[in-house]
A and B are shown apart, each in its own frame.
Chain A
Amino acid sequence: MGENIFVDFTAWLRGLISGLGVPDLFNDIILMIVKLAAIIVFIALNATWLVYMERKICAYIQSRVGPRHHGPVGLLQPVFDVVKLMTKEIVLPKNVDLVVFLLAPVLIVVPPIVAYSVLPFGKDMVAIDMNIGLFFLVAVTSLSTIMFWMAGWASNNKYSLVGGMRVVAQMVSYELPLVLAMLGVVMITGTLNLSEVVNAQKNVWFIFAQPIAFLIYFIAGVAETNRPPFDLVEGESEIIAGPYTEYAGMGFAMFYGLAEFANMMVISAMCTVMFLGGWLAPFGLTFIPSWVWFFLKMYLVIFIFMWVRWTFPRIRVDQLMGFGWKVLVPLSLANIFITGTGMYIYRAIGW
């Protein structure tokens, strides 16, 4: 029931366009544009919802009730936020590097959108079934660092600069354990294609096969998305808002709302694909469509992200770097070693 809605729709659209006598090449291009538009709409809708969800969870954890006035149970709050941010002036401070300053908030949303093109949302639901999907995704998401650095540098502000420095230090440091954690999964599956990674988890999810890798991935993922307790980049109490300090209105919204939540969704979706069995249904509950399972798992991970965010205080910069380089990296290397040894032993005994 509903399992093939999107796949069937794509096939129908392809048939419709080729029925109009459009050559196959243009047909592919049109379909790709439709898919990317769908991804952008998906990200925008989810980001708005996540703003609401974040505020609600924050409020509930702090024994409050959160947004409540606009719409039923405050559901229209993000809409009001967006309208407010859109109507605000974009302030251009003196002596900013104008091109870079204005380009940074536009480019910041590109990596997550591009990353989504290789993510399998459900059975056969992937925009581009790339055989190096994982590699592509990791390469693209690490680009965000440059946008943050652009914003930090172009603002011509000491807080922005410090924030930008912290972004580079943090994201580069935590990229390493993130990738090394995923390497354990790749060693078991022997493929970089995300659909095949999901299919390899038919018998057992990799969270059970690779628990340490999952933990490392989760921690590094929180750090990658610059969310508390790793939000040194913003660090309100220390450096105002880091690279976002000089941004107002929609520029700020692009960084804070769209990019942060889009990045968080990418990290959660990757977590789902790599460790939680992607769109595979647990306990044989296959009557629920695969893409619903994907969503449920993704939102579970997002919830844990938020739960962690509103529980732990921010850690110091030296603690951050120490934790990244002295704990997570050796741990992930050890995990790779253990995985390799295990695989070798299993192969030797012919299991």
Chain B
Amino acid sequence: MFGQGLLKGLEITWGRLFGKKHTVNYPYKRIEMFPRFHGRFQLDVDKCIACGLCVNACPNKVIEMEREKVGKKQFLTKYVMRIEYCLFCGLCVESCNRDALRFTNVIDMNQYRRKWVRLTLVDRPAPEAEETPEEAPAKAAKAEAAAGKAPDKEG
């Protein structure tokens, strides 16, 4: 019959008219993103050894890392991601040997000002070097050397 296709189209849109609506009331209600979604980064500070592999892996030089040597270990004092340059490729996450850096499925990182976009994951002062028993004499000796014996050495 001529016009059958037209009627079929009308029938489909009629069904849609009363069908289920897929819109989510966004700012008030959100769809849970998939677990593997490349969203906001999460850093497990306790696992991180501040090796800097993620910094090297990043193609855009997004990650800024500051570390201090505390005792024998590297101590992570600052870990800032300039998210405005991030392309969420995931190379940093892949490069992490300790599984410290991870993606979460949180999507809202938008800010009102550009400078607020920067994602600061860690910002803490380095602890004072613990006076471990073996370390204390060495340090004392070092200080001594620095204070008293320096002129000698120089001379």
Best-buried of B10, B17, B19 by chain A (most CB within 10 Å): B17
Stretch at the interface among B20-28, B51-59, B117-125: B20-28
Q: Which residues of B lie under 8 Å from residue A63 when comparing CB positions?
A: 16, 19-23
Residues in A neighbouring B12, C-beta threshold 8 A: 311
Is A311 in contact with B21, judged by CB distance below 8 angstroms? no
Q: Return chain B residues, CB-CB under 8 Å to A311.
A: 9-10, 12-13
Query: Which one, A54-62, A76-84, A236-244, A252-260, is touching chain B?
Result: A54-62
CB distance B22 to A61 under 8 Å? no
B90 to chain A, nearest CB (A): 32
**A-side contacts of B19, CB under 8 Å:** 63
A residues less than 8 Å from B10 (CB atoms): 307-308, 311
A65 at the interface (CB under 8 A from B): yes
Is A57's CB under 8 angstroms from B6's CB? no
* A94 contacts chain B at the CB level, 8 A cutoff: no
Q: Is the CB of A61 within 8 A of B21?
A: no
Chain A residues closer than 8 Å to B22, beta-carbon distance: 63-64
Are A312 and B9 interface neighbours, CB within 8 A? yes
The chain B residue with its CB closest to the CB of A64 is B23
Whether, in the assembled complex, B14 has its beta carbon less than 8 Å from a beta carbon of chain A, the answer is yes
The complex places the Cα of A263 from the Cα of B143 at a distance, in Å, of 93
Size category, B interface: 10 to 19
Q: Are A312 and B6 in contact (CB-based, < 8 A)?
A: yes
> A57, A60, A312: which contacts B21 (Cβ < 8 A)?
A60
Using a CB-CB cutoff of 8 Å, which residues 9-44 of chain B contact chain A?
9-10, 12-14, 16-23, 25
Task: Determine the distance from Cα of A44 to Cα of B20 in the docked complex, in whole angstroms.
Answer: 33
Within the complex, the shortest CB–CB distance from B97 to chain A, in Å, comes to 46
The answer to whether B16 touches A61, judged by C-beta atoms less than 8 angstroms apart, is: yes
Q: Report Cα–Cα, A65/B18, bound state, in Å.
A: 11
In-complex Cβ contact of A310 among B6, B13, B21 (8 A): B13
Q: Are A61 and B13 in contact (CB under 8 A)?
A: yes
In the bound complex, what is the Cα–Cα distance between A60 and B23 (angstroms)? Answer: 10
* CB interface residues, A 280-313, toward B, < 8 Å: 307-308, 310-312
> Judging by beta carbons under 8 Å apart, are A307 and B6 in contact?
no
CA distance A64 to B21 in the complex (A): 5
- Of chain B, the residue at the smallest CB distance from A57 is B17
In the bound complex, do residue B21 and residue A307 qualify as a contact, i.e. CB atoms below 8 Å apart?
A: no
Q: Are B17 and A61 in contact (CB under 8 A)?
A: yes
Interfacial chain A residues near B18, Cβ < 8 Å: 60
- Residues from chain B with a CB closer than 8 A to the CB of A308 are 10
In the bound complex, do residue B17 and residue A60 qualify as a contact, i.e. CB atoms below 8 Å apart? Answer: yes
Residue of A61, A307, A308 with most partner-chain B CB within 10 A:
A61
The proximity string for A residues 31-68 relative to B, scoring 1 for CB distances below 8 Å and 0 otherwise, is 00000000000000000000000000101111111001
Interface residues of B (CB under 8 A from A): 6, 9-10, 12-14, 16-23, 25
Which 6 residue pairs are nearest across A and B when measured between Cβ atoms? A311-B13, A65-B23, A61-B13, A64-B23, A311-B9, A63-B22
27 A-B pairs whose Cβ atoms sit less than 8 Å apart in the complex: A57-B17, A59-B23, A60-B16, A60-B17, A60-B21, A61-B16, A61-B17, A62-B16, A63-B19, A63-B20, A63-B21, A63-B22, A63-B23, A64-B22, A65-B21, A65-B23, A68-B25, A307-B10, A307-B13, A307-B14, A307-B17, A310-B13, A311-B9, A311-B10, A311-B12, A312-B6, A312-B9
